[in-house]
Amino acid sequence: MTAALPLPTPDTAAADFLAQFHAETGRPGLGARLAHVAAHGFTPTPEELAFAARVAWRNSTRCVGRLPWRALEVRDLRHVTEPAEVFARLLEHLRDAFGGGAIRPLISVFAPDVRVLNPQLIRYAGYRSADGTVTGDPANVALTDYLRSLGWGGGPGTAFDVLPLAIQSGRRVELFTLPTDAVQEVPISHPECPGIGDLGVKWHALPVISDMALNVGGVRLACAFNGWYVQTEIAARNLADDDRYDLLPRVAAALGLDTRRERTLWRDRALVELNVAVLESFAAAGVKIVDHHTVSRQFTRFETHETRAGREVRGRWSWLIPPVSPATTPVWHRGYDDRELAPNFERLPAPWDAPVRPGGCPFH
Ligand code: ARG
């Protein structure tokens, strides 16, 4: 007598995801879907993909801006494989996400063997010179060197040269220059201190993350996604960190502060005014941005909604609190479980840390 063969079942990551998709959306047909996946393997449907992308945002423990997760617009570009066409779709992404300044959260999801090698679609070059000083963004020195190794000749050499995109499809990597009209930027000035405007600082309107894969039930898909900025990301980190643009001494000088003694709190005063400058400049340019007080309150509303839906909010407290005046926000006074839930976004290794193996895909 032979034992009955067990029915094939999909791997648990796919099965767990499908069970969640059907439970949350109330769609019937889980059993049939599981049987299909067991027989043919798991290829997410467009609806499953859109659900996964939105829930991955909802599950992003480092993101304080999750309140509008349901409004994420999802572009299923799994059929796009030619680097030139990927680039064309990324230009559409930049234009549509910007929306004349209204900025809408958007994710473009690519074919499994496609990847953008830049960590964000818009990044400023960091040129290290012989004496060790950096022109531009020191965070992007390795990226800049990597793009040069792929054949990029370098930009004009300003502190804000937009880097080209390296797009990989299979084993091929191609470089593409972003046209200036695809990159919306905001010049930074201060309403009362003209010396801050004279520093010639600007920042790009859109943060578009491109070095994370969407994990849908064990299927990893490279993608690019954006929301809008919290001004602290630009003013309290990118422009202020001493290993980034390191602008606090120059802002303090523009404000006429005494920088000889720490007790004048010149760093803190310069930091606050730089944050004011970024908020006012984005507002004057008609580009959506949120301040850290407002986004923190929105996060507590997100927590309330999630609790009502019977879900627990996970978070990494050190990422959720703002780098300016954290104790003035409600998030400071709360605690969070930082264990990750699925579906989620996963960081892909930097291409210069994980060179492409012959025949191998860098993110598998
Ligand atoms: N902190 C990053 C930057 O300054 C952007 C991360 C994503 N931020 C966002 N608001 N969606 O470029």
Query: Among residues 85, 174, 185, 233, which one is catalytic?
Result: 233
Nearest to 346 by CA among 73, 61, 142: 61
Task: Output the CA 36–ligand 1 centroid distance in Å.
Answer: 39
Task: Output the CA 23–ligand 1 centroid distance in Å.
Answer: 32
Phi, psi of 190 (to 5 degrees): -115, 135
Does residue 167 come out as left (phi exceeding 0), alpha (psi in the -120 to 50 range) or beta? beta
Does 63 participate in catalysis according to the annotation?
Answer: yes
Residues of the chain with pLDDT under 50: 1, 358-362, 364
Task: Output the CA 75–ligand 1 centroid distance in Å.
Answer: 20
Nearest protein Cα to ligand 1, atom 12: 207
Does 312 participate in catalysis according to the annotation?
Answer: no
Nearest protein Cα to ligand 1, atom 1: 233
Domain boundaries, the chain: 77-184
Q: Give CA separation, 311 vs 48, 59, 217, 307, 308, in Å.
A: 20, 11, 19, 5, 7
Does 233 participate in catalysis according to the annotation?
Answer: yes
**In the numeric block, which tokens belong to residue 253?**
């000088």
Query: Among residues 66, 75, 115, 123, which one is catalytic?
Result: 66
Show contacts of 34-40: CB within 8 Å, 24+ apart: 34/9, 34/10, 35/7, 37/10, 38/7, 38/8, 38/9, 38/10, 39/8
Q: What angle do CA 141, 239, 253 make, to 5 degrees?
A: 125
**pLDDT value of position 360:** 47
Q: Residue 260: CB partners within 8 Å, gap ≥ 6? A: none
Q: In what order do the strands lie in the sheet with 219-226?
A: 73-77, 106-110, 219-226, 208-216, 344-347
Contact call for residues 216 and 96 (beta carbons, < 8 A): no
Nearest protein Cα to ligand 1, atom 10: 229
> Does the domain formed by 77-184 have CATH 3.90.440.10?
yes
- What is the pTM (predicted TM-score) of this model? 0.95
**pLDDT value of position 46:** 98
Start-end of H helices in 150-290: 194-197, 231-232, 248-255, 266-285
Task: Output the CA 209–ligand 1 centroid distance in Å.
Answer: 8
**pLDDT value of position 364:** 44
Does 361 participate in catalysis according to the annotation?
Answer: no
Which of the listed residues 64, 118, 122, 233 should we mutate to test ligand 1's pocket, taking the one with most ligand atoms within 8 A of CB? 233
Task: Output the CA 114–ligand 1 centroid distance in Å.
Answer: 23
**pLDDT value of position 355:** 57
Cis status of the peptide bond prior to 343, with omega within 30 of 0? yes
Which of the listed residues 103, 229, 282 should we mutate to test ligand 1's pocket, taking the one with most ligand atoms within 8 A of CB? 229
Which residues does ligand 1 sit against, CB inside 6 Å? Answer: 65, 207, 209, 227, 229-230, 233, 238
- Side chain identity at residue 197, one-letter code: G
**pLDDT value of position 11:** 85
Task: Output the CA 7–ligand 1 centroid distance in Å.
Answer: 46
CA atoms of 272 and 232, how far apart (whole Å): 10
Start-end of H helices in 70-170: 83-98, 141-149
Q: What is the pLDDT of residues 61-97, one digit of tens each?
A: 999 999 999 999 999 999 999 999 999 999 999 999 9
